[in-house]
Structure 1
Amino acid sequence: TGSVPTSLLLPQVVDAVGADIPVVGAGGFHSGAGLVAALAYGADGIAMGTRFLLTAESRVPDAIKGDYTKATVFDTVVTTALDGAPQRVIRTDLIDQLEGSSIVTRLPKAAMKALAFAKLTGTSPKELWSEGMAMRESQDLTWSQLAMAANAPMLIKAALVDGDASVGVLPTGQVAGVIDEVPTVAEVVDEIVADARATLARLAP
């Protein structure tokens, strides 16, 4: 999650990479009108994370889907409290607690989550350390960011897999605030195609 909106970033990327490299717009897309806008910016298509997360086929627990559909556009926040990198999530009591705690308080919990992450993925502590050092060097992470790197996936798993938002986080796009239903994937695609055609017809009658 960066500070430059998609509407400004997308055309810059298209101009930078040239016509031979396909560009897919991501961030804030959920409708056919958005698809048309992305095409107008020069993109070849769009990616929709939050929209497809909130579909009938998504394996996210129904109660968690409900937390998403109840959110407004003002209920998301960009935080660095998970692992040091900016991420947009739905604001919950846990996010407020993490935001209000010091790095000294968060580090021991992050270390425990790192061990849990290693167990979950079948990675040995030695392998986890080697991968962490490589990530620190390639991404120029601080030691505190490195120590918290396994925090985010475990907190995300707690909510999106285990279904407990009280101990997990809900990663999201701000677009969650305008999504209030959970259709099938086919219905999403059909609606986007129909909306895109209607938008094009309205723009060029």
Structure 2
Amino acid sequence: MGGGVVIRTRFTETFGITHPVVQGGMMWVGRAELAAAVSEAGGLGIITALTQPTPADLAAEIERARRLTDRPIGVNLTILPTISPPPYAEYVRAAIDSGITILETAGANPEPYLDLLKAHGVRVIHKCTSVRHAVKAERVGVDAVSIDGFECAGHPGEDDIGGLVLIPATADRITIPFIASGGIADGRGLAAALALGADGVNMGSRFLCSTESPVSDAVKQRIVEASELDTELIFRTLNNTARVASNEVSREVVRILDEGGDFASVRDLVAGARGRRVFDDGDLDAGIWSVGVVQGLIHDVPSAGDIVRRTVAEAEEVLRRRSSALLPV
């Protein structure tokens, strides 16, 4: 794998994978084919639990992935306070009963589920956007952290700290393995993350733009054509910042909120059903959809397996080349 290249880290050892490359748990995207392709190539593929309408559907999706690979696969569960929350505990139980041994949590504190998960041998990766949240995640007992820099797609938090500072700052404060997310699309990013103290990387937008990604080819082509300048930060005034693709809808949301609007004034524009139409139908202005500034580094639509293999091979080459530049004095 990886052209014969293997980079072993605390993360690969803890989670039983070959390469320190994780596919982000993206809503509507983290399905069986993509997750299995990443895992089969030696990385860690992630099925997004809430993409599935019910816990039973999640179990069926995990079974579909199992028919495609026998390598470790994770499940993402984003826990958010809502008026009518999904049955989170039932999704957790579906993952456990399906034999999942890796759960990626995001949003709220996963502590209420940790005893149950640990009792069934499930290791937990918790996504964080700040050092203080990573420290708390370690304290409550998660097995690893995924630290999201300001460059990331989706919700980067409110601190606006990029990976160049956030990664080493995290390395200075926690002892459990952690992976870096946001602004990473190739082996240069993996090599940089390792040099800054991370034990691997999480890539969302890069795997969104792969052949196994279950979204319209129009979305993938837009990512290839776009630059690092083509995203918008919405919900800034609501202290719930999200990074999404720049399109007619996201620019309108920014305008309304900047002029004093509240969430109710943009609710219809940001509805999840509209965003799903972008992915399903390829109507790029149907709604908002997440992508990171890293799209400026994405120039093709390869297979997920090729992404894993060439990322690791390129990282090895970067690290080898840089180390050879060190001269005795």
Q: Per the alignment, do residues 6 and 81 of structure 1 end up closer, same or farther by CA in structure 2, a change over 3 Å counting?
A: closer
Equivalent position SS for 2:222: helix
Measure, in 2, the Cα distance between the counterparts of 1:60 and 1:175.
18
Equivalent position SS for 2:172: helix
Structure showing greater relative contact order (alpha-carbon pairs closer than 8 Å, 6 or more residues apart): 1
Match of 1:8 in 2: 165
Q: Per the alignment, do residues 52 and 106 of structure 1 end up closer, same or farther by CA in structure 2, a change over 3 Å counting?
A: same
The reply on whether 1:31 has 2:181 as its aligned counterpart is no
Q: Per the alignment, do residues 199 and 109 of structure 1 end up closer, same or farther by CA in structure 2, a change over 3 Å counting?
A: closer
Equivalent position SS for 1:182: coil
Measure, in 1, the Cα distance between the counterparts of 2:185 and 2:234.
23
The one-letter code of the counterpart of 2:302 is P
Match of 1:156 in 2: 275
Question: What displacement does 1:16 show?
Answer: 1.1
Measure, in 2, the Cα distance between the counterparts of 1:58 and 1:34.
21
**Aligned length in residues:** 165
Q: Which runs of 4+ in 1 moved over 4 A?
A: 81-84, 102-106
Q: Residues 16-74 of structure 1: CA distance to partner in whole angstroms, max 9, x if unpaired?
A: 112xx111100111111211111111111000000011000000111111121111111
Equivalent position SS for 1:195: helix
TM-score (norm 1): 0.72
Question: What displacement does 1:84 show?
Answer: 5.4
Does the 8 A contact of 1:83 with 1:152 survive in 2?
A: no
Measure, in 2, the Cα distance between the counterparts of 1:14 and 1:189.
24
Equivalent position SS for 1:181: coil
Question: What displacement does 1:104 show?
Answer: 5.1
The reply on whether 1:197 has 2:312 as its aligned counterpart is no
Question: What displacement does 1:162 show?
Answer: 4.2
Q: How does 1:70-149 map to 2 (within 5 A)?
A: 70-80=225-235, 85-102=240-257, 107=264, 110=267
Uncovered stretches (5+) of structure 2, i.e. residues with no partner: 1-155, 325-329
Q: Residues 150-174 of structure 1: CA distance to partner in whole angstroms, max 9, x if unpaired?
A: x453343232234322221121110
Does the 8 A contact of 1:82 with 1:98 survive in 2?
A: no
TM-score (norm 2): 0.46
Equivalent position SS for 1:161: helix
Equivalent position SS for 1:78: strand
Measure, in 2, the Cα distance between the counterparts of 1:153 and 1:64.
16
The reply on whether 1:185 has 2:312 as its aligned counterpart is no
Equivalent position SS for 1:89: strand
Measure, in 2, the Cα distance between the counterparts of 1:54 and 1:99.
25
Measure, in 1, the Cα distance between the counterparts of 2:210 and 2:237.
26
Of 86-95 and 72-81, the range deviating more from structure 2: 72-81
Measure, in 2, the Cα distance between the counterparts of 1:53 and 1:89.
13
